[in-house]
Each structure stands twice: as structure tokens, then as C-alpha cells.
Structure 1
Amino acid sequence: MHISSSAAVYVISVAADLAGMHPQTLRQYDRLGLVSPERTAGRGRRYSGKDIAKLRLIQQLSQDEGVNLVGIKKIIDLQNQVDALRSRNEELEDEVRARRAAQERDARVFAAGTVGGDVVSISRGRRPQGRPEPGALVLYNRYRRS
């Protein structure tokens, strides 16, 4: 059985041990909104693996880098914003790829007709009725017209 890193499974005492902090520190971080663990029906805190990683980051920024709690809150908020923007960017890139694929699929081909050199529109992958005259010009249009 695999437990996801976002599954809230650790009680506060275990989470504090894993993060190398006192449980009261975790309560303070919860009040400040730095780490917001899941709650049980009885309002007990349950920390996930991601919460533990965030607690370790807070500890590193605070102790090793000398960043105060307000600065840490801003750093975490900015990281969350970057993650959201990165996710949205990936969604938009997927949408652009899908639209380009649809355009390629729906592209039309223009060919010179066999009589009088008329230009005819045909679906991609199809040939004009009859064969074009030798030397007839066949054009490809990438853009679909509505």
C-alpha cells in the first residue's frame, strides 16, 4: 500500500519529531498560517509528508538563513503562486498543442483544377477528381478557414 505525500497521517507529536521541532512550534506555525494541517472530526491536527517538508523548509529558512516568520510566510506564498502559475502555463501549453494538432488535422489543400486551371479546395489526404495536368500547381494552406 502506497501512501501519498499529501495524505494527512501524522499526529502533532510525530510530525514535530520528524521535523525536529517542539509541538508548540507547530501550533504557532498553524496559527500564523505557515503550515495548515488537515483536521480530524475532533479538531486534532494531522500532518502530511508535504507538511513535514514545509516545516523543515521553515526551520532551514529561520535557523540557517536568518529569515523571520513574516519573511518565511511571504516566501511560501510566492512559491505557491509560482506553482499555480507553472501549472496554468502547462495547461495553456497543452491547449495550444491540441489546437495546433486540430489545425493540422483540419488543414485544407488547394489544387489547380484539370479544366481551365480553376483552383479547387480538397480535404487533406484526398486527391482532386481526375489527375492534375502535368506541371499543375498544388498549394497547401496550413490555416483552417471557418
Structure 2
Amino acid sequence: MDPTAPVFAIAVAAELAGMHPQTLRQYDRLGLVSPKRTSGKSRRYSMRDVVQLREIGALGAEGVSLEGIRRILELENRVTELAQRVHELEGALADELLNRPGRRVFAADETGRVESLRAGERTRRHNQLVVWRPLERG
């Protein structure tokens, strides 16, 4: 079963999460969990949503505020996105290393933007200060 497939009605999702359906409606309004909607506008929850609802319940039981929970979920989602991006870049790097061994493949700027480079191409540097002091021979 696809964990993101919206298959559970609100009553079933509430039971699986150990919560009241009204709590799920509140979390939807607050943006903590965003179930899909049917054409009739009723909510449909996925297994991933149910797992997230359980996590929200556990964090709430530990005394974390709803705003704190929202921030934790936001950061966890961002970490997941970044991990996926790293995985993609590792795959691209592995492919490049196989196709062009020993050559520079990409560079990143100060914002983290990655740019591909052709063999022998150098990155452009902006606003960098290079300090060079000759070695003293004695």
C-alpha cells in the first residue's frame, strides 16, 4: 500500500491515531496535517498522515505546544527534502565520476546553489578577498 494514498475517512483516521475527529479537524485548520479532499470536500487521510497524527499526539503528551509541534514537523520535512536532494546529487556525482574520472564535476556558491562545470572550466568568484604573503626566505 502506498503510504501517501488518501484512503481513510476522518473517523477511521481518528481511531487509528487515537484521537477525536474534531481534533483532526483542528489540526487541519492549523496546518499540522493536510489531508486530501474528495470531490465532495470530505477529508481523506493517508497512512503517512496517521503516522504524523500519532507523532503530534506524542509530542503534545510530552508538553510541546502546537506551535512547537508545527515547527518540529516543518523542520523534519525540510530535513527529509534535503536528504533526498543529497541523495540525488550523490547519484549525479557518481554518474559523472564514472563518465569523466578525475575531472571537476560541480561547484557550489555561498548560498548552496550547485552549478555544473565542463572539463577545465573554473567558477567565477565574486567579492572575494585573497590575501597573499610571500614566504620569507632566510
Which range, TM-score by smaller chain? 0.7 to 0.9
Q: 1:62 aligns with which of 60, 63, 70?
A: 60
Structure with bigger strand share is 1
TM-aligned CA deviation for residue 5 of structure 1 = 1.0
Q: In the TM superposition, what whole-angstrom CA distance separates every residue of 1:88-118 from its partner, at most 9, and x where no partner exists?
A: 01111111111100013x9xxxxxxxxxxxx
Equivalent-residue separation in structure 1 for 2:19 and 2:6 (angstroms): 18
TM-score normalised to structure 1 length: 0.69
Unaligned runs of 5+ in 1: 107-143
TM-aligned CA deviation for residue 145 of structure 1 = 6.5
4+ runs deviating over 2 angstroms: none
Equivalent-residue separation in structure 2 for 1:83 and 1:9 (angstroms): 23
Number of aligned positions between the proteins: 106
Residue identity opposite 1:78 in structure 2: L
Asked whether 1:18 is paired with 2:16, we answer yes
Equivalent-residue separation in structure 2 for 1:68 and 1:88 (angstroms): 30
Asked whether 1:82 is paired with 2:79, we answer yes
Q: Which residue of 2 aligns with 1:97?
A: 94
Q: 1:71 aligns with which of 47, 61, 68?
A: 68
Residue identity opposite 2:23 in structure 1: T
Equivalent-residue separation in structure 1 for 2:120 and 2:41 (angstroms): 59
Equivalent-residue separation in structure 1 for 2:44 and 2:120 (angstroms): 56
Unaligned runs of 5+ in 2: 104-118, 122-138
Residue identity opposite 1:82 in structure 2: V
Equivalent-residue separation in structure 2 for 1:7 and 1:36 (angstroms): 13
Identity of aligned residues (%): 50
Equivalent-residue separation in structure 2 for 1:41 and 1:103 (angstroms): 51
Equivalent-residue separation in structure 2 for 1:67 and 1:43 (angstroms): 31
CA distance 1:145–1:62, change in 2 (3 Å): closer
CA RMSD of aligned residues (A): 1.8
